[in-house]
Structure formats: C-alpha cells, structure tokens
Structure 1
C-alpha cells in the first residue's frame, strides 16, 4: 500500500478514536435527547456515521457493505430520530460497530485504494477519494456531537 493511502487509514482510525473518546461518557438516555435548536441526537449521529461510511463505499464499488438493513431507515440520509418508531441500537452496540469499521474497511479495500470505479455523483472514482470525503463528513458530525454534548452538560 502506498504511503498516502496508509495515511488515510491512520487518519480514519485516529478520528474514529477521537469520536469514540468524545462519546465515551454519554449514557443511552443522554444519547436520545434532541436539544432545542438541533435536528438530531448523539445516537443518530453515531449511527449515521457508521451507515454513511459504508454507503459511500457501496455507491462507489457496487459491492454490498455490512450495513444492517434497519440502519437505512434509522440513520440514512434524510432520516430523523424524532421519527423513530422502535428502539434503535444501544450506545454500546454503535460504539462497537464504529470501533470495528476502520479495520474492516482497511481489510476490504487496503489493496484496492486506487482501483478505478465508475465516477460517483460527487466526482469520486477511487476508494481513497471516498475516504477523504467520509473523514471530512465525520468531522462535521463530531462537531455536531460536541455541540449537543456541551448543551447537555449545561442542562444538567
């Protein structure tokens, strides 16, 4: 694997560790709260990050990813936790899946980072390009989680 691609996996792993550290002390009850002024809660953000990471790889490669079917209705683009009609995965489950995801992606695509696939609607055609996008996306949701967490801590 070329060094630039190894760095992408290092960044994905490091940012994911940072995300998991930020939510380490969040309870299931806190993860359900949608503070005033927010559209989503912490649980939704975590499930969305897990789902979105695989969806982009699936969109690019056309290869089925290990996304539980119900995750699309809970955490896919345009979903909202206010519409949940059933219990979503626990924080422990989501944290486990998120922790396992970077090494799983590395195993699946580590040797295929520059394989050219048909271009996606955002102009990407390699796994390395998708990972740049999804790492950026993770940072956006980490920021939202930090804002929700600050709001929750103020309320207590």
Structure 2
C-alpha cells in the first residue's frame, strides 16, 4: 500500500479491532430497533467488502469462505441467514490476517486505473481509501448498536 493509505487503513482497522475484539457473544446477534442488521453482520460486512474492494473477492481471492458473500455482502440481512455463522473469534482472526495481506500489495498498484469507475472512484488507491472510509462508517454503527443493546440489557 502507499504510505498514506496504509497508515489510514491500519489506524482504522486498529480502532475497529479494539471495538470488536472481545465483545460479548450475547450482544452480537441482537438487532436493535431502527437498525437493519446486527453487530456480527457489521463485522462480517466490513471484512467481506474490504476483501472485495482490495483483493477482488471472490474471483481473485479465495481467502474467505465464499458463503461470506451470502452472509455479509451488500443487501444481505441476518434475518435471512440459515446454517452456521462464523464466530466472533473467526471474524477477528480474518480481520487481523487481512491487514497483513493488504500490506503486501505493491505501492505501484495504487496508481492503477480501475477498469470501470466505482462510485466516482477511478484508481485502486481511491478504492483503498474508500475501504477505510467504509470501515470507519461501520465502526460508528457498531459503537451505536453496542450502546443501545447494552443499555437495553441493563434496563430489563
């Protein structure tokens, strides 16, 4: 990664991991009123979308199980899940390993023009910055959901 993008992404991921690593499994699948999903979905979504943006998942990357697209891809909902879902520890391990793999992307790749612009983004570097922005946005959702769910538990 280029230096600026890498520092931005590492800082965002560090804060993300600090907020999710060690969460109580009991709150991960509670869907607070007014939200379309759960904390587990938020975590898996960040992981999956970053893998899509940065590694071309699932066509160019097979690091994550392909079922993650059905669980955490854009437009998915926990209410539609069937079968087993990954544990928090599994998701956190993937998030940590993903950073290591992202650090291996050559800096010249960030100047590469995308075949098709995405949301007005034209280069891989711009897409990488979008991945960090996307992660920070979902971190805010997780923080809000955590407070709401914990307050609901305390006030029962």
| TM superposition score normalised by structure 1 | 0.87
Aligned partners of 2:52 and 2:58 also within 8 Å: no
Question: Which ranges of structure 2 fall in alignment gaps of 5 or more residues?
Answer: none
Question: Which ranges of structure 1 fall in alignment gaps of 5 or more residues?
Answer: none
* Higher relative strand content: 2
Counting only pairs closer than 5 Å after superposition, residues 45-84 of structure 1 correspond to structure 2 as 45-58=42-55, 64-65=60-61, 66-84=63-81
Aligned partners of 1:46 and 1:94 also within 8 Å: yes
From 14, 21, 36, the equivalent of 2:33 is: 36
Offset at 1:104?
0.6
Alignment partners' CA distance in 1, 2:120 and 2:64? 24
**Runs ≥4 in structure 1, deviation > 4 angstroms?**
none
Q: How many residues align?
A: 152
In structure 2, the residue corresponding to 1:33 is in which secondary structure?
Answer: coil
> What is the root-mean-square deviation in Å for CA atoms of aligned residues?
2.1
Counting only pairs closer than 5 Å after superposition, residues 3-14 of structure 1 correspond to structure 2 as 5-14=2-11
Offset at 1:23?
1.5
1:150 and 2:147 are equivalent in the alignment: yes
Aligned to 2:88: 91
Aligned to 1:141: 138
Aligned partners of 2:48 and 2:68 also within 8 Å: yes
| TM superposition score normalised by structure 2 | 0.87
Offset at 1:106?
2.0
Aligned partners of 1:27 and 1:91 also within 8 Å: no
